Amino acid sequence: MKTYSHIPPGNIMDLLLDAICVVDARGCFVFVSAACERIFGYPPEEMIGRPMIDFVFHEDRTRTLQAAKEIVDGQPQPHFENRYVRKDGQIVHIMWSARWSEADQVRVAVARDVTERKRADTMQAALYAISEAAHSAGDLIALFEQIHQIIGGLLPAVNFFITLYDKSKGELTYPYYVDQYDQAPTPQKLDSAALSAEVIRTGQVLLYTPDSRAFPPGQVRPALGRDSLNWLGVPLHAKKGVIGALVVKNYCAETRYTQKDIELLQFVSTQIATAIERKQMDIWLQHIARHDPLTDLPNRALFHDRLQTSLRRAKRNQTLLSLLYIDLDKFKQINDTLGHPIGDLLLQEVAHRLKQCVRESDTVGRIGGDEFLVLLHDISLPENARMVAEKIRIALCRHYDLADHRVHVSPSIGVALYPEHGDDYQQLIRYADEAMYDAKKNGGNRFR
């Protein structure tokens, strides 16, 4: 009969890629196979005798102890998953197959490292979640809040912010900024010393750790606030270039951002940049649909919506409001003699002056040509509307210096009051329009 050489069981266990662990009734390791050092980073002698729970990621300890109790009670766990902290500080995902040996009073378990599988699943889920957020978020802030939650599920991101770059202004803004200690910075220029500015300028990842004694030539190291220990920023690359930076940082010495964290953020950053661009485009399309493209004032549709809303509030609260209808005297002559470009500049400056004459809560709109509407909410007395009308008349009569041309123009203004001159928006607009034409027929440069 042919004989086969016998391989000692201990050698077989040490050849396994999965780790075999034995834990006693006290919860301490009494045996670990050689694969434990590959998975957990600790040699066997540094694990044996120590409580198993000491190696478990702190957020998973409660449910791990519950699973251990169920195993001891006779319920094997063939697919239990939790997270452990390696000796180098990295977190690993482990799938356990474990049972209790009543005769030996120990738990016997096989540990398989499923970190890469979990990472791939998590990243795929993150991409899907970001895509969903781009469609469901009502505005950019809501989108950023959802992105923060998604990133927080991938790596430590309690402190998280997004910097956006406006190329036309050469300016950085911080629309979303969450930090344990610091407030959001004010808008900055691209050539500022901010680390996020460096990320956007270079289009490269920037990692700052306690080991970063000095930055390479050309990089900037400003004050980081409260001795931030770990700072990781990745550029947001979009079709039109770098549109901003995504930054995570923490103040915990035990938590270091790794190369895997960098790769993960880089992987999702493209999807995030696409989501931000899509949301910005949606917001811009909604804006231009309801605003005048020349002056950026509310157009006729948006102004009517606001007027109707204000009327409902005035009726409910029994307050007054006023509507001013404004037309520029002899505007056509300016267009005909100086050209439409000068006329456009004049309309933009008129819009600017009108906004300076009213409160932020009031509404200024352009409804076409040289016609503007002003809605004064919640005025206390009719005289207030007349005072604003006179203020506007004086402001618009001041000369305009436009592309080497000094231009003079005056307004004709019609004033309507609620409820004196009507109780719906059409009546008020018609009354203000008729009053404006009456002012114009009487020479202009006045209000009626």
CA distance 200 to 220: 12
CA distance 198 to 201: 5
Write down how long the chain is: 448
Q: Which two tokens stand for residue 282?
A: 């949606």
Spell out a b/e string for 363-392, using b for 16 or more CB atoms within 10 Å of the CB, else e.
bbbbbeebbbbbbbbbbeeeeebbebbeeb
Mean pLDDT of 175-199: 90
Do 86 and 258 form a contact (C-beta atoms < 8 A)?
A: no
CA distance 25 to 101: 10
The pTM of the full predicted model, rounded to 2 decimals, is 0.64
pLDDT at 170 over 70: yes
Spell out a b/e string for 36-72, using b for 16 or more CB atoms within 10 Å of the CB, else e.
bbebbbbebeebbeeebbebbeeebeeebeebbeebb
* Domain 300-447 superfamily per CATH: Reverse transcriptase/Diguanylate cyclase domain (3.30.70.270)
Instruction: Quote the DSSP letter at residue 7.
Output: P
Helix (H) or strand (E) holding 380: none
In this prediction, residue 224 has a pLDDT band, given cuts at 50, 70 and 90, of very low
Domain segments of the chain as ranges: 9-113, 118-289, 300-447
E strands, 335-429, are 363-368, 371-379, 400-402, 405-407, 410-418
Same-fold call for 9-113 versus 118-289: yes
- Encode pLDDT of 341-374 as tens digits: 999 999 999 999 999 999 999 999 999 899 999 9
Residues forming beta bridges with residue 415, ordered by sequence position: 324
Cα distances (angstroms) measured from residue 58 to each of 37, 54, 62, 82, 154 = 20, 9, 8, 10, 16
Cα distances (angstroms) measured from residue 226 to each of 180, 186, 190, 251 = 10, 18, 24, 8
- Encode pLDDT of 29-88 as tens digits: 999 999 999 999 999 999 999 999 999 998 899 999 999 999 999 999 999 999 999 998
Main-chain dihedrals φ then ψ at residue 174, nearest 5 degrees? -125, 75
Cis peptide before 419 (omega within 30 of 0): yes
CATH 3.30.450.40 fits 118-289, yes or no: yes
Closest to 205 in 3D by CA, of 154, 255, 257: 257
- Encode pLDDT of 396-430 as tens digits: 999 999 988 999 999 999 999 999 998 888 999 99
CA distance 228 to 164: 22
In this prediction, residue 254 has a pLDDT band, given cuts at 50, 70 and 90, of low
CATH tag for 9-113 (out of 3.30.450.20, 3.30.360.10, 3.30.300.160, 1.10.3720.10): 3.30.450.20
